[in-house]
Amino acid sequence: MTPGSDTLTGTGTRSDLAFLTDTPRFLFFTGKGGVGKTSIACASAIHLAEGGASVLLVSTDPASNVGQVFGVTIGNTVTPIAAVPGLSALEIDPEQAVEKYRERIVGPVRGLLPAAEVASIEEQLSGACTTEIASFNEFTDLLTDAAWTVAYDHIIFDTAPTGHTIRLLQLPGDWTEFLETGKGDPSCLGPLSGLEKQRAVYAQAVAALGDPERTRLVLVARAQQSTLAEAARTSGELVAIGMERQYLVVNGVLESDGGDPLASAIRGREQRALGARGDALSALPTDFLPLKAGNMVGLAALRGLLSVDETATVEGDAAGLSAFASSPLSALVDQIAADGHGLVMLMGKGGVGKTTMAAAFAVALAERGFEVHLTTTDPAAHLTDTLAGDLENLEVSRIDPAVEIERYTDHVLATKGAHLDEQGLAMLREDLRSPCTEEIAVFQAFSRVTREAKHKFVVLDTAPTGHTLLLLDATGSYHREVSRQMGSTMHFTTPMMKLQDPTQTKVLLVTLAETTPVLEAAGLQEDLRRAGIEPWAWIVNNSIAAADPASALLQRRAANELPEIDAVRSRYATRVALVPLLAVEPIGIPSLEALLTGPTSDKTGGPEEPHPRAQLQS
């Protein structure tokens, strides 16, 4: 397919896939959550392996679902995919990576140092900063260790959602620069003690990432303004760090409407979004993959993803699907509003609509006269675009790591640095330049926001699952440290205690009626329960089944949703809201209000006019 081409060509198995032509050794897939990065990465790995290459598929996402897609257990060791000769997979598990890294640091001194000192070192190695370094070391080994390059023709990286992928790809340069200028804050001495040995490895990683003969970056998007805008921003940021050879894959394009007004509206806005994607993206070699009827789980579905013909068959009765629209979002808002104040946290896999749901809750509560603070910890979130307007009683903000680092740095310099001489200030500034500072700064911002919930509603749109868990890990570490210092005789309240109290915090899990998002939400629920946090409700968003479509393709997708909706209601949730897919994008306050009650007359109307600030669900 030629750069900028807007059509699908050929039949059967695709032979014109630009992003898989003359494939280099390293292939990175990135994009906004929910665009299909994992499915395309897995399908590409199968395609290359069945073409005779030896392939290693690696997930760098803390919430990896590669194993679910293949239907096998993978984990932090190389696992052959038995059904595809030549293909193996690896999930970089943050917890296992940390344990391995911690033992590498602590093992040599265990038995040589007093137990108290060993325990102190282990405590220093318990934060999210250590998780970042440990996972990153695993990543750089794959780029630089000759053993990997000898064993595999291609290493494919299925990455975390965009904002965190940018962070991962920036790290070689960040840590290399940091090693040249300072030793880090004392709180990071544990994890940083092993970094000096990595200087040469990081330099090699920088070289590999910037070499188009070795590395290709594939931007994955949907035919939606929000994901295309995210791809454009990502493209610019990657060019800035030397990754100039990029490709674009637009996934899930609806090719025909079958006379269905809902499908016609969706197709119309997809075509408008593609037409307005801008010169930078239009210039990239581009492939368009059609929307499929089935879930991308199992080898048959994955093989079909890179073909033009729709070969999937779905058994199921599509009649009477609109009966599932009997669980409106407004019922959850009514119960939350009865408390008068509190923290409402939206969590889930990337791309399920957390930002839109958070905005809808905030608008509903503000219109009932409550003071509301709507904020996000997601680097890729765009709350102002989703709201597309102002509302009385509603404050909107974002926990921006760069802003929080500056705030934290200024505070430390004004307090700890107030009485230091020039040499001491220079050392303190060096400490604060550590990438570990971000962990502390973001956690402090999160804690500050939770305090506001004492007298107002705080609606928090979180980052995708894995990164939210890292934030909660920092919250738990802080809670344990405060508990240790305060003992059992002192009264205190930590952010973790607020999260565990359903009278103060309502955690809402957002999912789609698809296999992988539901399984991931169920996994997140178990993780939260282990931390003493019980999810309050589930939201099944963008349900085609609840929209009662007429298109044959959409009806087949709707039939696939029914078992997932039933699983949520019967196995996982005590409270459920079902939000149907609407013809009109939920952008702007009136459209967000419409989400509360379910389908409107828009479902049977024609294609809507594009909103000047239109953006699909985050």
Q: Please identify every residue annotated as catalytic.
A: 34, 36-39, 61, 516
Angle, nearest 10°, between helix axes 329-337 and 354-367? 50
- Other Cβ atoms closer than 10 A to 508: 24
CA 348 to chain centre: 8
CA distances in angstroms from 230 to 32, 243, 389, listed in the order given: 6, 16, 21
Q: Which candidate, 539, 366, 439, places its Cα nearest to that of 133?
A: 439
Structure tokens at 390: 């102002």
Q: What are phi and psi of 274, to 5 degrees?
A: -65, -40
Contact criterion met (CB below 8 Å) for 350 and 541:
no
**Ranges of H-type helices in 501-608:** 515-530, 552-567, 589-595
Q: 396 - beta bridge partners?
A: 374
Phi, psi (deg, nearest 5) at residue 211? -100, 110
- Within a 10 A sphere around the Cβ of 258, how many other Cβ atoms? 15
**What sign does the CA torsion over 523, 90, 18, 206 have?**
positive
First to last CA, the chain: 29
Q: Coil, strand or helix: which one is 304?
A: helix
Residues making up the chain, counted from first to last: 618
Q: What is the largest CA-CA distance in the chain?
A: 76
Torsions phi, psi for 102 (to 5 deg): -60, -45
Q: Report the candidate in 308, 289, 141 with the shortest Cα–Cα distance to residue 220.
A: 289
Per DSSP, what are the bridge partners of residue 90? 58
With 0-12 CB in 10 A as exposed, 13-18 as middle and 19+ as buried, what is 567? middle
Place of tokens 């001491």: 424
Query: Is the distance from CB of 461 to CB of 381 less than 8 angstroms?
Result: yes
Three-state DSSP class for residue 266: helix
How far apart CA 588 and CA 591 sit, in angstroms, is 6
